[in-house]
Amino acid sequence: MSIKMISIQNFREHYRPGLFMIDVRGPAEYQAQHVDGARLYPLNELNPARIEADLQAQGLKHEEPVFVLCQAGMRAQMAAAQLVQQTGLNVVVVEGGTNACMGAGLPIVQG
C-alpha cells in the first residue's frame, strides 16, 4: 500500500473553501494555527470509521480527496496509512504539512 502525496505547489492550486482537510496534530498545535477549513482529528485519538462517517455526512463523495495535514508531514503519513487501510477514503498527504502551507501563503487561522 502506498500513500498518495501532493506537493505544496499542487495543493495550493487545489485549495479552496470547502475542501476536505483533516489536521492530525494535537489540540494545542491546532489551536495555535491551522489551515483554514482543516478539521481536527488528533493522531493519538484517530478513529478512521468516525472520520469517514463525519466527512460523508458533510457531503464528501467517494472519489473526492481528503487531504491530511500535520506540522511537517510525518504524523500525516502515519494517519494516512491507517485511513487507507481501514476506510474507502481517497487520502492524500500534503507534503510539508502546515509549515509548508504557511510558507506558501495559504489562509491560516491563528489561535
* Cβ atoms within 10 Å, residue 70: 26
What distance in Å separates the CA atoms of residue 103 and residue 105, rounded to the nearest whole number? 5
Residue range 9-36, pLDDT digits in tens: 999 999 998 899 999 999 999 999 999 9
What distance in Å separates the CA atoms of residue 62 and residue 102, rounded to the nearest whole number? 29
* Cβ atoms within 10 Å, residue 102: 16
Conformational region of residue 2, where left means phi above 0, alpha means psi within -120 to 50, and beta covers everything else? beta
Q: Which residues of the chain have pLDDT under 50?
A: none
Say if domain 4-70+79-110 classifies as CATH 3.20.20.140: no
Does the global pTM surpass 0.85?
Answer: yes
